[in-house]
Amino acid sequence: MGKSLTRKILESHLVEGEWKAGGEIGIRIDQTLTQDATGTMAYLQFEAMGAASLATDLSVSYIDHNTLQMGFENADDHRYLLSVARRFGIRLSRAGNGICHQVHLERFGLPGATLLGSDSHTPTGGGLGMIAIGAGGLDVALALGGSPFFLPCPEVVRVALKGALGPWVSAKDLVLKMLEIFGTKGNVGRVFEYAGPGLAGLSVPERATVANMGAECGVTTSIFPSDEATRLYLRSQGRESGWASLGPDPDAEYAMEVEIDLGALEPLAAAPHSPGNVVPVRGLKDVKVDQVCIGSCTNSSYKDLATVALMLRGRALPPDVSLVVTPGSRQVLMNIERDGYLADFIAAGARLVESSCSFCIGNGQAPASGAVSLRSSNRNFEGRSGTADARVYLVSPETAAASALLGRIASGLDLEAELGVRPPSPPVPGAFLLDDGMIVAPLDPKERAKAVILRGPNIGGPPVTVPLPENLKGVASIKLGDKVTTDHIMPAGARMKYRSNIAAYSAFVFEGVDPSFASRAAASRDAGSHNVIVAGLSYGQGSSREHAAICPAALGVRAVIAKSFERIHAANLVNFGVLPLAFASDGDYAAVEQGDALEIPGLRAQVAAGARKIRVRDATKGLEFDAICDLTGRQRAIIVAGGALAAAASARAKEDA
Ligand code: MIC
Ligand code: SF4
What is d(CA 379, CA 274) in angstroms, rounded to the nearest whole number?
7
Indicate whether 163 pLDDT > 90.
yes
Average pLDDT over residues 212-222: 98
Residue 579 located in a structural domain: yes
E-strand ranges in 264-386 read 268-270, 278-280, 291-294, 322-325, 351-352, 372-375
Residue 489 located in a structural domain: yes
Tell me, yes or no, whether 302 and 258 share the same domain.
no
Is the minimum distance from the CB of 378 to ligand 1 under 6 angstroms? no
Answer with the one of 403, 419, 435 that is the final residue of a domain. 419
473 residue type, one letter: K
Check which CATH number belongs to the domain holding 293 and give it.
Answer: 3.30.499.10
Domain count, the chain: 3
In angstroms, how far is CA 14 from the centroid of its own chain?
24
Tell me, yes or no, whether 340 and 483 share the same domain.
no
pLDDT band per the 50, 70, 90 thresholds, residue 643: very high
pLDDT band per the 50, 70, 90 thresholds, residue 655: confident
95 residue type, one letter: A
**Residue 452's closest CA among 76, 108, 37, 80?**
80
| Domain enclosing residue 78, as ranges | 5-264
What is d(CA 304, CA 295) in angstroms, rounded to the nearest whole number?
9
pLDDT band per the 50, 70, 90 thresholds, residue 180: very high
Tell me, yes or no, whether 252 and 281 share the same domain.
no
Computed over every residue of the chain, the mean pLDDT equals 97
Q: Which helix (H) or strand (E) holds 429?
A: none
Residue 358 located in a structural domain: yes
E-strand ranges in 379-502 read 391-394, 439-440, 472-479
- For the entire predicted model, the pTM comes to 0.97
Specify the pairing of strand 14-16 against strand 24-27: antiparallel
Number of the ligand closest to the Cα of 496: 1
Cβ proximity of 549 and 569 under 8 Å: yes
- pLDDT tens digit string along 242-286? 999 999 999 999 999 999 999 999 999 999 999 999 999 999 999
Tell me, yes or no, whether 215 and 297 share the same domain.
no
Taking phi first (over 0 means left), then psi (-120 to 50 degrees means alpha), and beta for anything else, what does residue 251 get? alpha
pLDDT band per the 50, 70, 90 thresholds, residue 501: very high
Tell me, yes or no, whether 373 and 294 share the same domain.
yes
Tell me, yes or no, whether 304 and 258 share the same domain.
no
Tell me, yes or no, whether 145 and 33 share the same domain.
yes
Residue 443 located in a structural domain: no
Tell me, yes or no, whether 635 and 559 share the same domain.
yes
Ligand 2 atom closest to Cα of residue 37: 7
Residue 429 located in a structural domain: no
Tell me, yes or no, whether 206 and 281 share the same domain.
no
Is the minimum distance from the CB of 384 to ligand 1 under 6 angstroms? no
Is the minimum distance from the CB of 361 to ligand 2 under 6 angstroms? yes
Instruction: Tell me the best of 294, 360, 380, 541 to mutate to test the pocket of ligand 2, counting ligand atoms within 8 Å of each CB and taking the most.
Output: 360
Answer with the one of 229, 264, 299 that is the final residue of a domain. 264
Q: 449 C-alpha to center of ligand 1: Å?
A: 32
Q: Find out whether the peptide bond into 273 is cis, omega within 30 degrees of 0.
A: yes
Is the minimum distance from the CB of 120 to ligand 1 under 6 angstroms? yes
**Residue 424's closest CA among 328, 508, 341, 334?**
341
Instruction: Provide the sign of the torsion angle of the four alpha carbons 475, 479, 482, 483, taken in this order.
Output: negative
Tell me, yes or no, whether 375 and 482 share the same domain.
no
Cβ proximity of 29 and 143 under 8 Å: yes
Cβ proximity of 575 and 139 under 8 Å: yes
Residues with Cβ within 8 Å of 503's Cβ and at least 6 positions away in sequence, in order, are: 460, 554
pLDDT band per the 50, 70, 90 thresholds, residue 649: confident
What is d(CA 550, CA 514) in angstroms, rounded to the nearest whole number?
18
- pLDDT tens digit string along 309-321? 999 999 999 999 9
**Residue 301's closest CA among 121, 131, 126, 101?**
101
Residue 437 located in a structural domain: no
Answer with the one of 375, 401, 419 that is the final residue of a domain. 419
